[in-house]
């Protein structure tokens, strides 16, 4: 089946385009619902990074260094955006964005592994 959005050929049993993630069958859903979901997933990823940076800012501003003694805060704070990238990648319908998010997840996983190896 040929995608009406990007003209890529897909298998006959496919529900969504393997290239752009567009629905191959007409639905009653609003046409921009997929892009709305994509935007919200990307906002969630960015927000997770902002939360981590705010956490570091609060700790350094109020000199709460004792928190570092209680837990390995660096690896814990890195885990938040890493898991957010994974969840967004799994839920993403747009194939190119999904690949980018999985690459980002892999890079963050390597970065996170550095905390546990050293």
- Ordered by start, the domain boundaries in the chain are 1-31, 33-117
H-only helix segments in the chain: 33-61, 66-70, 73-91, 95-117
Q: Which whole number is the average pLDDT over 58-75?
A: 76
Q: Which of 28-32, 59-63, 67-71 has the lowest mean pLDDT?
A: 28-32
> What is the model's pLDDT at position 31?
52
Rounded Cα–Cα distance for residues 18 and 9 (Å)? 9
Band (118; pLDDT cuts 50, 70, 90)? low
Q: Which whole number is the average pLDDT over 57-64?
A: 83
Higher pLDDT, 19 or 33: 19
Q: Are 6 and 19 in contact (CB under 8 A)?
A: yes
Rounded Cα–Cα distance for residues 117 and 7 (Å)? 46
Q: Are 84 and 48 in contact (CB under 8 A)?
A: yes
Band (103; pLDDT cuts 50, 70, 90)? very high
> What is the model's pLDDT at position 9?
92
Q: Is a pLDDT exceeding 60 seen at residue 46?
A: yes
Q: Which whole number is the average pLDDT over 81-109?
A: 88
Rounded Cα–Cα distance for residues 15 and 13 (Å)? 6
> What is the model's pLDDT at position 4?
85
What are 23's strand-pairing partners?
16
> What is the model's pLDDT at position 57?
85
């Amino acid at each position: 089946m040929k995608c009406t959005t990007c003209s890529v050929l897909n298998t006959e049993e496919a529900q969504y385009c393997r290239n752009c993630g567009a629905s191959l069958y007409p639905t009653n859903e609003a046409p921009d619902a997929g892009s709305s979901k994509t935007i919200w997933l990307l906002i969630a990823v960015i927000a997770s990074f902002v939360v981590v940076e705010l956490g570091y800012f609060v700790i350094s501003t109020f000199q709460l260094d004792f928190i570092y003694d209680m837990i390995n805060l660096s690896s814990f704070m890195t885990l938040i955006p890493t898991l957010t990238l994974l969840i967004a990648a799994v839920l993403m319908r747009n194939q190119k964005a999904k690949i980018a998010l999985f690459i980002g997840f892999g890079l963050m996983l390597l970065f996170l592994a550095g905390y546990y190896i050293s």
